Structure 1
């Protein structure tokens, strides 16, 4: 899983910040590491130089293999809270998505005398492959 970190002009970017963000995202999403191609992190100070509550925003966009991207945003008073909150939201969104996929596969599981379910799984596989090629 590749992690890219981007920040606006009002957030002082550094190698140390990028490493900390990458470690936080990796540790929170480690169970999905094989299912994700990339996670893009956008850090932004909503009010610029002006102080204000909940003005730091972290947006995480995950790219699951063969599926549409999933994006979450969390605003907080500190960068650490914004990143942690967004990582937890993304973990929850991925759990929901992959849980639904597991349920669909279980419902379409082939029976001993049914080749129809195999055809459906093959069709789904081909659709996912095509989507992966297009992204």
Structure 2
């Protein structure tokens, strides 16, 4: 799974921050590495009713499927990342545990062949 991290002008993406989040995302999402070929993380600061807050947008690019995007707003980039990862984990957990999901997804030809 290739991980790409981007930041806006306010959330500075120095080497330490990028390395930290690459490790965090790799660790938390490693069980989905067979499904996700590329993961893009975007960190930015946005205006909120109570001031400024951080936002993490995760775009997962699964093999043979549409891109999945989730976002989470929080007071820090760490909290925003954890929240977005949790949402992505929930989405993939639901997809893998749907009744008949595996047999439908892995079926290679018409029924009965």
Q: TM-score range by the shorter chain?
A: 0.7 to 0.9
Higher strand share: 2
Structure 2 residue ranges without an equivalent (≥5): none
Structure 1 residue ranges without an equivalent (≥5): 109-119, 125-135
| Deviation (angstroms), 1:104 | 3.3
Higher helix share: 1
Between the aligned partners of 2:79 and 2:9, the Cα distance in structure 1 is 19
Between the aligned partners of 2:46 and 2:109, the Cα distance in structure 1 is 44
Q: Is the 8 A contact 2:57 2:72 kept in 1?
A: yes
Matching of residues 51-90 of structure 1 within 5 Å: 52=51, 55-90=53-88
Matching of residues 86-125 of structure 1 within 5 Å: 86-100=84-98, 103-106=100-103, 121-123=107-109
**Which residue does 1:34 correspond to in 2?**
34
Structure index of larger Rg: 1
Between the aligned partners of 1:67 and 1:19, the Cα distance in structure 2 is 28
Distance 1:79 1:103, change over 3 A: same
Count of aligned positions: 107
| TM-score between the two structures when normalised by the length of structure 2 | 0.84
Between the aligned partners of 1:104 and 1:96, the Cα distance in structure 2 is 10
